[in-house]
Chain A
Amino acid sequence: MNVKIENLTKVFPGRDRKSEGVTAVDEFTLDIPDGKLVCLLGPSGCGKSTLLYMISGLEHPTSGKIFFGEKDVTDIPPEKRGVGLVFQNYALYPHLTVRQIIKFPLENVKGEARLSKEDMEKRALEVAKLVQIDGLMDRKPGQMSGGQQQRVAIARALAKMPDVLLMDEPLSNLDARLRLHTREEIRRIQKETGITTIFVTHDQEEAMSISDMIVVMKDGILNQIGKPQEVYDDPVNLFVASFLGTPKINIFKGFVKNGGLYVGSDDKAEKILDVNGVDDRQVWIGIRPEGFEIAKDGKLTCSLKGVDVMGRDISVVCSHPADDEVIRAIISAENDVDRDAQTVRFNVKPHKTFIFDRETDERIRFS
């Protein structure tokens, strides 16, 4: 089922009458196509969980509308929306067995839609098989690992066959290895069931690797929507560019003058690219780590701090007066870097270089 969000706003009231409310989600408009896995991505406190909870119905929006398909569900209580929600800490009832937990939502159903006892058992076993916990049906949550509990939580959410599956940072309580494995599992389960899934995370790598579509948020405002690669290759502003990608994008101070892009701020500024169609102005220059090429007569001169060998690639760690942070350049290991040299010179790849307005942080496109 496709989910449509229109001008959704959530303002949490202040603690007392004097203090101002907090706008967690601001005029959010979004269209999530049927059967896709969409990630809501943003730093802590950006309102992504609030948005998810509004879609689930646990939070009521201050204004705006939510549609499931053609149906306006804004004022429909959560139990009637047909959503499954996987909580960050799973919320598995500690005193029930896996079987009882998975059946719990089924037993709530009243009237004709209620399954017979045998069918409930059958359904519970089906979803348990799907998430591969059918061997643990009589265990209690305390007797399972984090990854297994996570699967039970997903199984419970799937048991009632929701139209929309919502997941609130489902991997954040798992260790690194399990997280990698589980995110593949979530991807597989989502593909097998074809349920529209909305997944909240602050981990850009997680979002990039499993989602069909990424929604990048900051301070309750939608910044960019798109396929992971598109968002990475074509960020709309400085925030999106720096939030996505590991190692992080390198940000330099610079300016545009007479169709040339300069790194630095004074007369020693180095011209690194020709940029056509951009007026003279102060800018931020973002260069992805893979956007550097080592060259003897390179246009950008950095002081070399070290070289990390990573097998296939090498990571050149250096610094530049126009960037307060450490610069990381990822280049092919075939390049030979003189580790004892004081400086290293680069040319930059135009499609890996983005310029942003110094004031508004908005992307400025060049040709």
Chain B
Amino acid sequence: MSKKTLSGTNGVATNIRGWVYLLPALIFLIAFMVYPLIDVFIYSFEEGYNSASQSSFGVGLYNYQYVLRDPYFLKAVKNTFILVIITVPTSTILSLLIALGLNSIRALKNLFQTVFFLPYVTNTLAVGLVFMILFRKTPYSDGLVNALIGKFGISPVDFIDGPYWAKMLVLSIYVIWIVMPFKILILTSALASVPEVYYQSARIDGTSSWRMFWRITLPMISPMIVYLVITGFIGAFKAYSDAVAIFGVNLNAAGMNTIVGYVYDMLYGDGGGYPSYASSAAIILFAIVLTITVINLIVSRKATDIT
């Protein structure tokens, strides 16, 4: 029994020490993550909250009703969903193809790895500017992309200030281009970590390369793909700076606003000063992301059940 007590006290002591070690991180997390989260949650139910006077008219679901009926918000939700649905699968598949290519070449591998990683270390706004110049149509010039597609007999389109789908296309290409380097990096290392011996064994057994990919490579790197898809979804749902980089700050006018953009506008935009509406929109975004992530996890756990 004495032994039990001993180990018990020991355990408590270790516990306390553990908490002390965690304290600095916890304080920051609580102050800058947990507290604001709770606050946003509360604001989202407080009607007409005023941050200057710290007062509100009442408590209820009015903010949510307003936001969900606001055509700008619905437009932003639609834009965000389209962006997510286009960019997450496309960027993941393209990255996988590039990673497979990188993994199978010897010569110049390092060079190409660096080239593919460059967008990651480049400033988003600078990239946005380049995209704008590439795609923009002005009275003086049609832009490089229009000049290129003109060679195939397609009439010039204003991708920056023109039809909705043209703008969505540019935004999607931009987002895909921005997120791919990280995915390529992760997937290249995931591919390299599949033990060579599995492929040797498969070769001895006469496995076709197609089957090797589907039955060995893909399952072995699936945890990494799941990770990339989940973070990709979260990242794409939070898209904002990408749209700003191409279309400027007045996204509602361009019809290219995103949910995060809507939250920002409600807080600081021209028609801003509505923290309650912003909070509701943020909470709705949170609910969407949480739902998608949970679905993702459930689906992937079934697909990548290794143990």
B216 touches A89 (CB 8 A): no
A87 touches B201 (CB 8 A): yes
**Nearest-Cβ distance from residue A147 to partner chain B, whole angstroms:** 19
Q: Which residues of B contact A109 (CB under 8 A)?
A: 206
A108 touches B211 (CB 8 A): yes
Q: Which residues of B contact A77 (CB under 8 A)?
A: 203
**Nearest-Cβ distance from residue A65 to partner chain B, whole angstroms:** 20
Tell me the complex Cα distance, A160–B207, Å. 13
The interface stretch among B31-39, B86-94, B192-200, B238-246 is B192-200
The verdict on A140 contacting chain B, using a C-beta distance below 8 Å, is yes
Contacts known (A95-B219, A108-B208); A79 close to B201, Cβ less than 8 A: no
B306 touches A79 (CB 8 A): no
B201 touches A108 (CB 8 A): no
A108 touches B198 (CB 8 A): no
Q: Which residues of B contact A91 (CB under 8 A)?
A: 195, 197-198, 200-201
Q: Which residues of B contact A142 (CB under 8 A)?
A: 306-307
Q: Which residues of A contact B207 (CB under 8 A)?
A: 79, 104-105, 108
**Nearest-Cβ distance from residue B130 to partner chain A, whole angstroms:** 40
The verdict on A366 contacting chain B, using a C-beta distance below 8 Å, is no
The verdict on A196 contacting chain B, using a C-beta distance below 8 Å, is no
Query: Which range contains the number of B residues in contact with the other chain?
Result: 20 to 34
Tell me the complex Cα distance, A247–B205, Å. 41
The verdict on B13 contacting chain A, using a C-beta distance below 8 Å, is no
The verdict on A58 contacting chain B, using a C-beta distance below 8 Å, is yes
Q: Which residues of B contact A143 (CB under 8 A)?
A: 307
For A85, give the chain B residue with the smallest CB separation: B204
The verdict on A61 contacting chain B, using a C-beta distance below 8 Å, is no
Tell me the complex Cα distance, A157–B211, Å. 18
**Nearest-Cβ distance from residue B300 to partner chain A, whole angstroms:** 13
**Nearest-Cβ distance from residue B297 to partner chain A, whole angstroms:** 18
The verdict on A277 contacting chain B, using a C-beta distance below 8 Å, is no
Can you list 28 A-B pairs, Cβ within 8 angstroms, ordered by A? A77-B203, A79-B206, A85-B200, A85-B201, A85-B204, A87-B197, A87-B200, A91-B195, A91-B197, A91-B198, A93-B198, A93-B219, A94-B306, A95-B220, A95-B222, A95-B306, A104-B205, A104-B207, A104-B215, A105-B205, A108-B205, A108-B206, A108-B207, A108-B211, A109-B206, A142-B306, A142-B307, A143-B307
Considering the complex of A and B, which 3 residue pairs feature the smallest CB-CB distances, nearest first? A79-B206, A105-B205, A91-B201
15 more CB-based (< 8 A) A-B contacts, given A93-B216, A105-B205: A56-B204, A58-B204, A78-B203, A79-B204, A79-B205, A79-B207, A85-B204, A91-B200, A93-B219, A104-B215, A105-B206, A105-B207, A108-B205, A140-B306, A140-B307
